[in-house]
Amino acid sequence: MNEQDLKKMIQEILSEVVTESQSDISEISEVKKSPISESTIDDATLKDIAEVKIREQYLVPNPMNEEAFKKLKLKTPARLGLWRAGTRYLTEPMLRFRFDHAAAQDAVFNDVPEEFIEKMGFTSVSTICNDKDEYLTRPDYGRKFDNENIAIIEKTIQKNAKVAVIVGDGLSSIAIESNVERVLPSLKQGLKNHGLDIGEIVFVKYARVPAMDKIAEVTGAEVVCFLIGERPGLVTAESMSAYMAYKPTVGMPEARRTVISNIHDGGTPAVEAGAYIADTIKKMLDLKKSGTDLY
């Protein structure tokens, strides 16, 4: 094969390659031009993980006694009867677990919004914690106030009041937002029925339960009721408690506190809790004691 024939053969091969490439490009262009079919997934069929009621969710295939197990589940929010994929959760229970875990973290690390505090008409003070990290790592700081905040507390809460009610974020900001607005009206009405009033309310940021003891000492309040967000778990991030004590003092034993806990929609309803707190405060004032001495 001479040089001329070789050049001719190369030109033919290149021509074929170019023709095939142009054909492929045309096919791709046609595909891009064709309309993409809409998704066949209907949003209405997608389940909202947050709406899953764990007490009613039962995923065990071919159970021996499903009705009995469902009755058992109604008595506890524990994750029972959710079955498995090998040694792991099924997808839906796993997603719900991750949702609840995220909600618990948010409850701990988020602050109660300033807008909510203003809406409720609370006077805001803070413990000596500078931020959330210090609050979580130094529980003792969540019990103390500087002189500036002490002055605000003394100015806000009536001296030697029969009852002082305070509110604190504690370990769940969402617990305060979810419950305080419904607890306070029934609490105030219950106290009013007993001839008692609570006056102005102080909100304590970065609060631990014993912060109420210092407030009692500087104000001389006879009974202090502290509504505070509880440590969230995977059952609920919205649980609030009412810690009450008759003439609490700094360093007193925890046995002197009376607690009404699990105030949330899945526990003690907020309105019912408010009335019960009022009756408990009246009992403390009558007997002049609290905690284990009350019973």
Map out the domains of the chain as residue ranges. 48-109, 114-294
Q: By the 8 A CB rule, do 171 and 103 touch? A: no
Q: By the 8 A CB rule, do 244 and 162 touch? A: no
- pTM: predicted TM-score of the whole model, two decimal places: 0.80
The token duo for 110 is 């988020």
| pLDDT computed for residue 107 by the predictor | 93
Q: What CATH number should be reported for the domain whose range is 48-109?
A: 1.10.30.40
The token duo for 35 is 């309309």
| pLDDT computed for residue 266 by the predictor | 86
Q: What CATH number should be reported for the domain whose range is 114-294?
A: 3.40.50.11240
Report how far residue 247's alpha carbon sits from residue 284's, in angstroms, rounded to the nearest whole number.
10
Report how far residue 161's alpha carbon sits from residue 199's, in angstroms, rounded to the nearest whole number.
9
pLDDT per residue, tens digit, the chain (295 aa), is 566 666 676 677 667 655 655 555 555 455 445 454 455 555 556 678 888 888 888 999 999 999 999 999 998 888 899 999 999 989 999 999 999 999 999 999 999 999 999 999 999 999 999 999 999 999 999 999 999 999 999 999 999 999 999 999 999 999 999 999 999 999 999 999 999 999 999 999 999 999 999 999 999 999 999 999 999 988 889 999 999 999 999 999 999 999 999 999 989 999 999 999 999 999 999 999 999 999 8
End-to-end CA distance of the chain: 114
| pLDDT computed for residue 50 by the predictor | 80
Q: Which residues, in sequence order, are CB contacts of 137 under 8 Å at separation 6+?
A: none
Count of other CB atoms within 10 angstroms of residue 46: 8
| pLDDT computed for residue 49 by the predictor | 82
